[in-house]
Chains A and B, each alone.
Chain A
């Protein structure tokens, strides 16, 4: 093996290792579990305190405390329901039956949604007819196309 190949090889190995290490360390703090309500509520204890993205459907009109932005509502999927709390502004179609993804953590009191953690399904021109019509609209997060 020539000296040049060895040099290039060594550089590549070092770079890959360095980036791999960095990636691994940043990933461990940056990730969240993406779960449906039923998956989490089948065994809630194991999920307490973990960063979650909870996918489900709003069950019943979300309740808002008078003169505040505090919401208390239920999210369900396949028969399992969890109570959720959120303070802040919600997307337009955050209402009964809408499909949402909530970011936050599960506690014994319920699911605590973090700031700006309510995402409703985003509008897209590419909504195939297969999707239930009621989920096919609202804004919430960014999106082009």
Chain B
């Protein structure tokens, strides 16, 4: 399997090289056949990468520990879900996953645009292929996920770090990669436009949707990372300005800037150099972020290795990107001349411009501060670091200004705002801000940043409501319907604009959540049973420290009772889990009591079973949930903006309000496991269990929907299925049934093998094990089909002899990498 995988990677590399060369040659010689051949090869890369991905997933699922990567990141007891997600569990695999995603995304983008932007396509293919070549090259010579052990094969894997065996951590990296990969598409189109000189706005139209999608994935990925940090790491926060986090944030800033400045180019034909540059910078930052965190250039508390070879390769690639891209920008400057001048600073385009500057400044600042330790060491020889306070000091005003612009921009007219329309527009939002600001001061808020944030949020909310209301009234007058229908029609007709407003409301909620952080209360105490500690309005009493075991892990749970204003509120169970084989890496299980106004967050980092004492971190986190809710709205707004015209006019006309409700419900469903898993390990009876019973409990699923075996249902013991199932199991065993009989009884009673953690490896069930084969086969078929549709690959032979010198020099460059 391993050598098959390696060959597939090599094949993909050769195909990419061919696709790049032949499509450029085809474009220059105006040979449609050669271009189509290049596009065909490009699709084929996606097919080959699909097969390669199937191969590595297969190796993970079947536990092929002769492959180093598989051995390092999985073991035989891992649930199948985490075995598959181990694909992107390490550096080598994530590079491969990156290429896989890029090839799929790229193929989709090329397929969608193949007719509309025919002149750009060859170069788009060439650029994406070259990016893929870089990553494939990295894998082949430096980080091959298919490397095998040369001498002896270990019997079992080392297993994934328990902290990473978390729902959010499994889906967080692919979401981030989707964002990163998606941002390659606008870059490829932008470069194609620069190279061909077709610099009208058509390339922008081709990429807006892709950028929005990538931007959304990036936002979502960042949020998942925040939730993970909040729930799993147990320090009570969600963002620490760590280099890894910053790496994801940098392209987010510039992509956001691009999404805004695009509008100026579409409406006014301005900022054209700026837009091209933003696309290039954004792509560069995605690569730079990877480089920064993976090569050991920036020291982080994360355990990254230093990898000089990787650093060199990345540096070379990044230099190439910058030099080539900006050379083209300079070369095409005459074509990029702005069609209009800025008429006035009090205009919407000026507001967009300021917004862009600030976003770019934010990116530069975060980059600078993240790189500061490295820079200071290079310049002065002393490694100086800057911490979160430094970031916060700068990002706080930057964030507030951006928030203000969110409300300020929409109030201005394009070109120039007159004094009368300024007064007319600003009256209500400003009044909102002043009312809220005064109320906040009157209520005794003395943290200027949070108070200001509340006032500005009111301003933005005022602006958006006013915009929506006035738009609806105008439409109502024009169409003669009621306000609600008018509103729906309005949104349907201009969904990008109103989707954008919804995103802005989401951003306001997120900022309110950040503002709440100013009122965070935190206490660290050592408690013995009966003792209590007070934080804010909450009093926490420790009742006991208990030790339980569920077969997979040993759990130490602190049982606490929470009082509010003297009344008992709830009981909370922060815990510490020691997974088998990972006893040295216990996980801290946080207990969170979520609330609309504030979260109560309990952690127990240390304990003494002997005298029953526990050190406890007690944190009251106001408004945290508003951040997650804000992301929900952001998602709704983005989807609205992304929906095709036809869908929206149809759907919004028939079921307007429930669309939003449904998406919110869906989102809450996705986020739901969080709430459930935090409160675990309570009152689990430490009954004596035989080894057989224990084994069966890990083989039979709890049917409550938690998708865990009986032994580790996260909802136990309050789960509706957990108890009866366990009792049934115990009863069956007490009757003297053996393993197979018990399994058969469960299968019979529950009407299927859903009840089993892993299907019995017989008959129809083989299907589950066969899925990777099917995927591989599908990929193969795709290869065959594409090849058949492929027009005479022999065209290459003719092409190479007649390509021009610059191209052959570039080809030489790429081929040199092969040595």
Contacts and interface: CB of A to CB of B under 8 A. Distances in A.
Interface residues of A, number: 48
Interface string B146-164: 0000000000000011011
A69 B615 contact: yes
Contacts of B237: 142
A129 B742 CA distance: 43
B225 interface: yes
A69 B586 CA distance: 20
B217 to A, nearest CB: 14
B730 to A, nearest CB: 34
B244 interface: yes
Interface residues of B, number: 73
Interface stretch (B383-391, B407-415, B447-455): B383-391
B89 interface: yes
Contacts of B613: 67
A23, A140, A144: most-surrounded residue (chain B CB, <10 A): A144
B650 interface: no
Interface in A49-95: 53, 67-69, 88-93
B247 to A, nearest CB: 8
Interface stretch (B125-133, B297-305, B417-425): B297-305
A43 to B, nearest CB: 13
Contact of B240 (A19, A101, A128, A143): A143
B393 interface: yes
B90 A125 contact: yes
A48 interface: no
A32 B235 CA distance: 22
Nearest to A4: B341
Contact of B294 (A68, A69, A89, A126): A126
Contact of A125 (B160, B372, B528): B160
A24 interface: no
Contact of B585 (A34, A89, A92, A101): A92
A42 to B, nearest CB: 14
Contacts of B224: 144
Contacts of A88: 524
A141 B235 contact: yes
B377 to A, nearest CB: 8
Interface string A119-143: 1111111111111001111111111
Which secondary structure dominates chain A's binding surface?
Answer: loop
B717 interface: no
Nearest to B293: A145
B585 A145 contact: no
B26 interface: no
A88 B616 CA distance: 10
B384 A142 contact: no
Interface in B519-543: 524-526, 528
A26 interface: yes
Nearest to B394: A26
A61 to B, nearest CB: 13
Contacts of A31: 372, 376, 384-386, 390
A141 B524 contact: no
B244 A143 contact: yes
4 nearest A-B pairs in the assembled complex, by CB-CB distance: A144-B225, A30-B390, A142-B240, A128-B305
13 contacts: A27-B390, A31-B376, A33-B383, A53-B385, A67-B528, A89-B603, A116-B235, A137-B585, A139-B588, A144-B224, A144-B245, A145-B245, A145-B293
